[in-house]
């Protein structure tokens, strides 16, 4: 049984089998509505399995709420990894969901979402209702309620602070929404959480972000550590830390990986940016992937099977800022990782903005330079061939005007990138994969991948069966070629 559902229709028999088996792999991929109780649950809810006649399935919690169902307070169906559908699909509904999760509607309204996607508000709402069972406002409302429940059960923040941090415009609106969706007051919902959250001190908050095991933590952490740039990022041997440029003010994030969650601590955070900050960490670490579906598909290929068996749950690297990703990928072309770090660190030291807090013990305190700063001052800071410097500064300027965010269509972004001087197939593929999370990119003209294929006795024509997971196949090939470095990294 595949663990990625057909987004066009929820097959009842398949969903009910997952429900009867309490299969945690499906948590976050759909919700179960129970007609006799008026509640909706995650597939793995420990309650007695309802009769099939009393069950219906919905893709989103917002769709269940729109039909009058309340969230189960036993299984907390919103406390799950996000749906992998928003990563797998590239249609308008999925792109809209990625931006809603980033808080675009809370910050800029429905009009802001429409502008980012390039469609009218009416068309987007019509598509979302047809595809997901709820409109833009309902989906954003449910997202705010989910953020509020996370804060209520994970922190000791006051009820009022939770309301505004989750994106509600008033305490009354917050109370009414929680009561309607959960049939409980915020205080009662906090009490039902089952454990006290860690203390929040000032503008510091610690959360546990869930993901679906398995997770190849060594590969993800190796990638973060190998590319960490002084002043912007830091790897101390157990945790990764970096600054974030967020809508209201900068923040820093410190992450460490557990068996089924990431312990995430934000500092200097304006709580209005919490949703965006969480979403960007989830995308950076690819936390909403369905690793079982990926491994099942790639593991059927005889070339990849040994790699998948050795390192299940591999993830693709994400992005917290589109322009930063574009500039860093361009600066890393055709040079070693170490050399790229040196050049990028110099750029950050010279042009990076102070984040607003002092540097202590080498902790990150600078923001990646703005496109304007790179365009204006890059020629005096960057080193290397004049043509490369011109390409990077021009790309930074153009990137600041491009749609370089998770809601952009991957094929359109690739076409836009290839119009830039100095951006070829390899760079465009890398940027698209990281910014949009496209799961089906086999990077063109990549020497590491070519060598891995040759080492495994495969050729370019042998990769067609890897669709739609070629991005993950690329990671397995990279890991195969970098085995010694990764092994040394994880060795005690």
- Give the residue numbers annotated as catalytic, written as ranges: 41, 446
Q: Is 11 exposed, middle or buried (0-12, 13-18, 19+ CB in 10 A)?
A: exposed
The span from the CA of 57 to the CA of 487, in Å, is: 44
- 233: β partners: 242
Q: How many residues does this entry show for the chain? A: 492
Query: Beta-carbon neighbour count of residue 247 at 10 Å?
Result: 15
- Tell me which residue of 293, 337, 328, 332 sits closest to 314, measured CA to CA: 293
N-term to C-term CA, the chain: 38
The span from the CA of 124 to the CA of 148, in Å, is: 25
CA angle (199, 202, 207) in 5-degree steps: 45
The span from the CA of 115 to the CA of 420, in Å, is: 23
Structure tokens at 85: 């559908």
Q: Which residues contact 92 (CB under 8 A, 6 or more apart)?
A: 117, 119, 124, 127
- Tell me which residue of 238, 305, 283 sits closest to 490, measured CA to CA: 238
Look at strands 39-41 and 70-71 and give their pairing: parallel
Which of 51-69 are b and which e, b meaning 16 or more Cβ less than 10 Å from the residue's Cβ?
eeeebbbbbbbbbbbbeeb
Query: Beta-carbon neighbour count of residue 126 at 10 Å?
Result: 14
| Cis peptide upstream of residue 468 (ω within 30 degrees of 0) | yes
Which uninterrupted H or E stretch holds 25?
none
């Amino acid at each position: 049984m595949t663990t990625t559902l057909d987004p066009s229709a929820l097959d009842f028999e398949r969903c009910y089998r997952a429900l009867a088996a309490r299969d945690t792999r499906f948590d976050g991929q759909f919700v179960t509505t129970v007609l006799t109780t008026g509640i909706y649950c995650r597939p793995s809810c420990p309650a007695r399995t309802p009769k099939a006649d009393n069950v219906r399935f919905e893709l989103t919690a917002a769709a269940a709420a729109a039909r009058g169902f309340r969230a189960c307070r036993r299984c907390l169906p919103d406390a799950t990894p996000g749906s992998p559908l928003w990563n797998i699909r590239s249609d308008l509904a999925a792109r809209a969901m990625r931006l809603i999760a980033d808080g675009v509607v809370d910050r800029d309204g429905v009009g802001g979402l429409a502008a980012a996607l390039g469609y009218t508000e009416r068309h987007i709402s019509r598509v979302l209702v047809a595809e997901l069972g709820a409109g833009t406002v309902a989906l954003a409302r449910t997202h705010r309620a989910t953020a509020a429940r996370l804060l209520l059960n994970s922190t000791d923040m006051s009820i009022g602070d939770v309301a505004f941090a989750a994106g509600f415009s008033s305490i009354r609106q917050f109370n009414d929404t929680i009561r309607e969706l959960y049939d409980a007051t915020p205080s009662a919902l906090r009490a039902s959480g089952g454990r006290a959250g860690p203390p929040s001190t000032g503008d510091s908050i610690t959360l546990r972000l869930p993901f679906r095991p398995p997770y190849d933590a060594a590969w993800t952490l190796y990638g973060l550590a190998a590319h960490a740039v002084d002043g912007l990022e830091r790897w101390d041997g157990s945790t990764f830390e970096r600054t974030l440029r967020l809508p209201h003010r900068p923040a820093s994030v410190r992450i460490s990986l557990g068996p089924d969650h990431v312990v995430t601590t934000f500092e200097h955070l304006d709580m209005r940016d919490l949703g965006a900050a969480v979403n960007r960490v989830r995308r950076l670490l690819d936390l909403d992937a369905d690793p079982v579906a990926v491994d099942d598909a790639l593991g059927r290929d005889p070339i990849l099977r040994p790699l998948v068996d050795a390192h299940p749950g591999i993830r693709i690297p994400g992005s917290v800022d589109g322009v930063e990703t574009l500039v860093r990928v361009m600066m890393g072309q055709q040079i070693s990782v170490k050399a790229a770090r040196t050049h990028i660190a110099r750029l950050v030291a010279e042009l990076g903005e102070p984040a607003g807090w002092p540097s202590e013990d080498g902790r990150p305190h600078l923001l990646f330079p703005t496109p304007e700063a790179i365009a204006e001052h890059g020629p005096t800071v960057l080193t290397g061939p004049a043509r490369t410097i011109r390409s990077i500064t021009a790309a930074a300027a153009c990137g600041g005007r491009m749609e370089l965010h998770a809601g952009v269509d991957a094929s359109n972004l690739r076409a836009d990138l290839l119009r830039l001087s100095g951006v070829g197939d390899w760079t465009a593929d890398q940027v698209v994969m990281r910014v949009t999370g496209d799961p089906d990119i086999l990077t063109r003209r990549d020497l590491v991948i070519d060598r891995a294929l040759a080492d495994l006795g495969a050729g370019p024509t042998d990769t067609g069966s890897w669709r739609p997971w070629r991005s993950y196949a690329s990671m397995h090939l990279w890991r195969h070629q970098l085995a010694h470095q990764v092994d040394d990294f994880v060795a005690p």
